[in-house]
Chain A
């Protein structure tokens, strides 16, 4: 995979490279090199623990958008080698920003839908940076309905900066496409597992993320608006994105605390891109565990639980007297 390293991971990567070089030279008779190697490894370990144990929300945003971060197809290559992609919404076109198809994971037939970003400029133009048009969401809906017809579980991978804001997208009803999926997913009579693997960009993410179980990778984000967009509106200054990221509380752990997601899938130390195979394995076992559990539920029970889950979302007061002043920090 191409792409550079983030500023805060650069010292670690540099150190790891030095260790690699040194390891090539190390032989039992060169005790001083072996000694140095041990020292550097201890240092690298300390540095890794130091950096990754106290990532800021903004650093997580950067990890979620890391140019080396595995995308949907990278995971599918590992967990669903037999993935059969199906194309087109049957109404307008095929949107490469969303991929969809059929696969078996540990012999369970699964309909799979995911946003797909591009790795380089050329691919990103093709994939539109993972920003879907209405036809992408409608293709997703078509596959959801196929899942319902077949009785297959649906698994979705969420990784988008947001739904595409363009003229064609508006003309073809971007809002309706998203809104329709929110309705149809809510009463789709099969288990739905949604996994945010990178960026969960607002309505464009939610449009394939109404699940019985919603999971997030440890360094992924999920937000009502991008930190940059929020900063531009509230601070009138897009460079205040770091502050906006803090205010929005958009990390996996934030969302777990807010009862919006069910589980955080831990990433390998340093992020999914440091060990994509390992990450894929963890995703696979989460999918299989949840699918098995959900398949055991009767359909109506499944749907009622799904509804209940989303009805519980939100924090508000229920007051009978005069409205109290909302508590805020001093």
Chain B
């Protein structure tokens, strides 16, 4: 939640200025190298000497990542209002107005459809320059609509984060956007639609603690600050200096929290190969998932695979089951009451034994609450 300080800094050196300075030269914010503007731009605003990644706008990312002219913005009509009439030293309403004027954006995230190497996707890119890329009602709603769009089209979802976290000015409503986005991501996961999360500098607070951290694949730009709590808060809490490189992409990779660190120069290519892989995977015959009943029917507790093994002798102490004279050994297992079970293949204790229970039920159910939760099946 400490984005405000950073965004203030951001205002002093607005990103437009960094991208399009008056002069021909720009100083690297990290190593201090004086960089030729054209060269910096060609290198996608990363330092040619130390590979420091300059902060860039959402529009710039879209230009870098997507096929030319492929982006169609969606849901831009969803904008923030001031539900709490929040006022600190300034009014939230004024902060919003100012952010819109200064950035030319209507919210902290752009959502839309596009393509990479011809592969369609749904994409959302956060912009730190709009109130620190903070997550609030409108941004949350745009992301939610984006996920719904991905569910409808079955196109992979890509969300690129750059955020200080949840936006305080909308209080609890901002917090609830974390639940909202992730509730839909749960459905996306159920539906088997892939989701790639890209973390850029910085991704902290409520954004890291919601959609950014649950990508099927998580990529991060080098040296990006990624964490739940801001370093300042942690330092205050533990009253100690933080370890070198703490909460940077490289640290997260070492701790197993992200899949890959990808230089901005490689980002488009990496996304392309993931999208190609997903497309290839989607062509495979898809099986319904988590429907244990279907496989259960082929096995039973006693006797192993049904077709190949003769019925075993009852174990000592096990209750004897009456066996019907005409039942074919190994094919029809006896029901509890001595009659063949309806499916004819159920073991005496098999979960699918109840005549009125479909073999497709998951083992997660109970009589009062059957697990008839529908798992979407891919065509």
Contacts and interface: CB of A to CB of B under 8 A. Distances in A.
B187 A328 contact: no
B31 interface: no
Interface in A149-167: 149-152, 163-167
Sorting the interface of chain B by its residue count into under 10, 10 to 19, 20 to 34 or 35 or more gives: 35 or more
A44 interface: no
B35 to A, nearest CB: 32
B266 interface: no
A316 B78 contact: yes
B176 interface: yes
Contacts of B96: 326
Interface centre among B5, B144, B208 (most CB of A within 10 A): B208
Contact of A317 (B80, B88, B243, B373): B80
Contacts of A317: 78-81, 138
Contacts of B174: 224
Contacts of B4: 233-234
A329 interface: yes
B45 interface: no
A323 interface: yes
A80 B19 CA distance: 62
B183 interface: yes
Contacts of A150: 366
Interface in B141-185: 141, 144, 166-168, 170-180, 182-185
Interface of B: 1-2, 4-5, 77-89, 91-94, 96-97, 100, 106, 136-138, 140-141, 144, 166-168, 170-180, 182-187, 189-190, 205-206, 208-214, 226-229, 233-234, 237-238, 242-243, 246-247, 255-257, 363-366, 368-374
19 contacts: A170-B247, A173-B255, A175-B213, A179-B178, A179-B208, A202-B166, A202-B206, A203-B228, A223-B171, A225-B1, A249-B172, A250-B171, A260-B173, A307-B183, A307-B184, A316-B79, A318-B77, A320-B77, A326-B80
Interface of A: 148-152, 163-167, 169-176, 178-180, 182-184, 186-187, 189-191, 202-203, 206-207, 210, 222-225, 229-230, 233-235, 243-244, 247-250, 254-255, 258, 260, 295, 298-300, 303, 306-307, 310-311, 313-320, 323, 325-329
List of 3 A-B pairs having minimum Cβ-Cβ separation, nearest first: A151-B366, A328-B93, A165-B229
